[in-house]
């Protein structure tokens, strides 16, 4: 790997750090005060004992869906040749690489396969042959498995100079005429404490395990399956699986487009409990968050809900602590990237332990979206509904502008809100110019392959802070020059950074790290213009030693920083 550090870039960081040290101390003190804590350690969600690990056992990092990790990269500017990094091929999307119960290994879940990966001592290699996707969305001709060489060749090419017809032809040649259905596979997954991986493929739910837990080289086997999920929805027709999670007493939660089912991990269909979430045009497009009391937070494109798993049923009764609330959700569907109207966020929990406020946060469906916080538990006595909010359940909401002009029509995100303490971070995924790509907006893989290198990309990010003393949001900083195309951002606790993946004409694909308190750029990993640098709806991850685990469009790669 070629790494270069520009001396003037580092001098700028050193000067900035020296001049702002006192200011940062003040900011940290204010942040601690905002958290209602004197301890600088930010409160964290309770670990789910039925997941493989407290970190990376489930999509969005933990059961609260925080997108916050203890690890992070060094400061500086790093030039990386992605074609020379160790990679475990898969795709066209690998949302997240998941923790195994053995810390030397991880599960890589892609839209076409499942792999078991050796990460010990800086390695990054598939232990055995992958398990090719057992079922695909029922289409003719059917989708087939894809070779490593095809993934690798697509990663090495660049979309610069391509148009819609050319990229569509390339994707059809490589991934089949119905390649766009692959986006529906392996969207959300988790690993339980028995090292069993659960993921969705086609219209089914599948459980995978090692053939021999003592010798991973013997490969992966299909452990259990529910190929036809209608048997666990009471016969209710569901469009697709959109999320998976685990209760804190070890039951699997399967989220569908218009309902959710809780079932034991043995896939005993007689244990299945189904709850209808929507009818008609009301639907769910993202996963859920779960707390240690087995409360489930799920958002349709119109309504935010808290449901309660009682151990034997799903309750929506207020007496059990459940509630529902509307939020601003116009029928308008953004022209690209987003999957539907309403929120594009998986609900994220905010506030734990002794924190004064317990909230659940999303971005809403307004064209220029709002950041919305709902009271998770009982609404405080005397709390008066805020003007402009859809219900008294909404603790506060604030317009997101990302520093973009007032004339900007769309400021919307398909990513969940990144949360650390009472801090929140959101991105804008909608370019100003969407005229060309909006014509093929339904083909998410085609759009995400072209946006940035071939057609205009999106710009704009914003950091917020919740004030529990005033029950309101405030904007901390904005960046209208930072690109975040479709990848889920991540917060680094140890490095005090938030990191995004985007594309610029100057640098090509890059990972940009910004100081959590000031918004200053403090890290860049520059990949150049090859498709390898495209994160395509996936999540950024970092490992214990600071290595980047980049879930690229053709599989997760490991980047080691020699510094």
Digit-coded pLDDT (tens) for 424-448: 999 999 999 999 999 999 899 999 9
Digit-coded pLDDT (tens) for 171-195: 999 999 999 988 888 888 999 999 9
The CA–CA distances, whole Å, from 184 to 282, 486, 499, 531 equal 19, 16, 26, 21
Position 239 pLDDT exceeds 90: no
Q: Taking the C-alpha atoms of 237, 361, 53 and 85 in order, what is their torsion angle to the nearest 10 degrees?
A: 90
Q: Taking the C-alpha atoms of 255, 257, 261 and 265 in order, what is their torsion angle to the nearest 10 degrees?
A: -40
Helix, strand, or coil (residue 171): helix
Helix, strand, or coil (residue 385): coil
What tokens does 222 get? 């299909």
Mean per-residue pLDDT for 7-12? Answer: 40
Position 339 pLDDT exceeds 90: no
Position 307 pLDDT exceeds 90: yes
- For domain 7-559, the CATH class is mainly beta
Decide if 456 contacts 429 (C-beta within 8 A).
no
What tokens does 512 get? 């940009």
Q: What confidence category does residue 332 fall into, taking pLDDT thresholds of 50, 70 and 90?
A: confident
Interatomic CA distance for residues 530 and 187, integer angstroms: 24
Position 455 pLDDT exceeds 70: yes
Q: What confidence category does residue 563 fall into, taking pLDDT thresholds of 50, 70 and 90?
A: low
pLDDT at 4: 40
Buried b (16+ CB within 10 A) or exposed e, 383-416: eeeeeebbbebbbbbbebbbbbeeebebbbbbbb
Position 1 pLDDT exceeds 70: no
Position 236 pLDDT exceeds 90: no
| This prediction's pTM | 0.91
Alpha helices in 323-401 (DSSP H): none
């Amino acid at each position: 790997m070629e790494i270069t550090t520009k001396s003037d870039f580092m001098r700028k960081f050193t000067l900035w750090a020296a001049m702002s040290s006192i200011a940062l101390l003040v900011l940290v003190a204010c942040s601690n005060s905002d958290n209602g804590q004197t301890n600088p350690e930010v409160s964290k969600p309770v670990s789910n004992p039925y997941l493989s690990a407290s970190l990376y056992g489930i999509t969005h990092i933990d059961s609260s869906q925080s997108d916050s990790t203890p690890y992070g990269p060094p400061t500086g500017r790093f030039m990386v040749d992605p074609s020379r990094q160790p990679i475990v091929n898969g795709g066209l999307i690998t949302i997240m690489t998941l923790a195994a119960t053995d810390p030397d290994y991880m599960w890589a879940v892609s839209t076409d396969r499942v792999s078991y990966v050796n990460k010990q001592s800086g390695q990054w290699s598939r232990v055995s042959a992958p398990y090719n996707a057992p079922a695909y969305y029922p289409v003719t001709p059917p989708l087939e498995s894809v070779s490593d060489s095809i993934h690798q060749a697509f990663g090495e090419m660049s979309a610069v100079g391509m148009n819609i017809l050319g990229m569509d032809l390339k994707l059809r040649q490589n991934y089949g005429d119905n390649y766009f259905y692959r986006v529906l596979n392996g969207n959300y997954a988790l690993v339980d404490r028995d090292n069993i991986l659960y993921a969705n493929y086609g219209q089914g739910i599948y459980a995978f395990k090692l053939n021999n837990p003592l010798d991973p080289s013997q490969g992966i086997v299909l452990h259990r399956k529910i190929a036809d999920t209608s048997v666990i929805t009471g016969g209710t027709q569901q469009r697709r699986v959109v999320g998976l999670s685990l209760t804190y007493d070890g039951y699997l939660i399967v989220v569908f487009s218009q309902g959710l089912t809780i079932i034991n991990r043995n896939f005993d269909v007689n244990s299945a409990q189904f709850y209808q979430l929507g009818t008609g045009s009301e639907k769910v497009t993202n996963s859920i968050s779960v707390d240690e009391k087995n409360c489930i937070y799920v958002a349709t494109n119109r309504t935010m809900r808290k449901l309660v798993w009682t151990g034997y049923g799903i309750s929506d009764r207020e007496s059990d602590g459940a509630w529902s609330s509307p939020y601003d959700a116009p029928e308008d569907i953004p022209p690209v990237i987003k999957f539907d109207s309403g929120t594009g966020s998986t609900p994220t929990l905010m506030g734990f332990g002794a924190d004064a406020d317990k909230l659940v946060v999303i971005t809403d469906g307004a064209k220029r979206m709002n950041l919305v916080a709902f009271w998770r538990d009982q609404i405080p006595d005397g709390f008066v509904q805020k003007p402009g909010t859809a219900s008294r359940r909404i603790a506060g909401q604030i317009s997101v502008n990302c520093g973009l002009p007032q004339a900007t029509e769309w400021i919307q995100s398909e990513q969940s809100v990144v949360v650390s303490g009472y801090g929140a971070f959101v991105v804008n995924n909608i370019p100003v110019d969407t005229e060309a790509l909006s014509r093929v907006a339904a083909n998410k893989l085609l759009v995400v392959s072209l946006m940035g290198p071939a057609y205009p990309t999106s710009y704009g990010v914003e950091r917020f802070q919740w004030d529990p003393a005033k029950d309101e949001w405030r904007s901390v900083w904005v960046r209208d020059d930072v690109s975040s195309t479709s990848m889920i951002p991540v917060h680094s606790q140890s490095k005090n950074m938030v990191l995004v993946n985007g594309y610029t004409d100057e640098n090509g694909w890059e990972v940009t790290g910004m100081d959590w308190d000031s918004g200053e750029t403090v890290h860049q990993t520059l990949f150049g213009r090859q498709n390898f640098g495209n994160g395509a709806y996936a999540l950024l991850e970092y490992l214990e030693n600071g290595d980047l685990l980049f879930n690229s469009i053709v599989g997760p790669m490991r980047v080691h920083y020699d510094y």
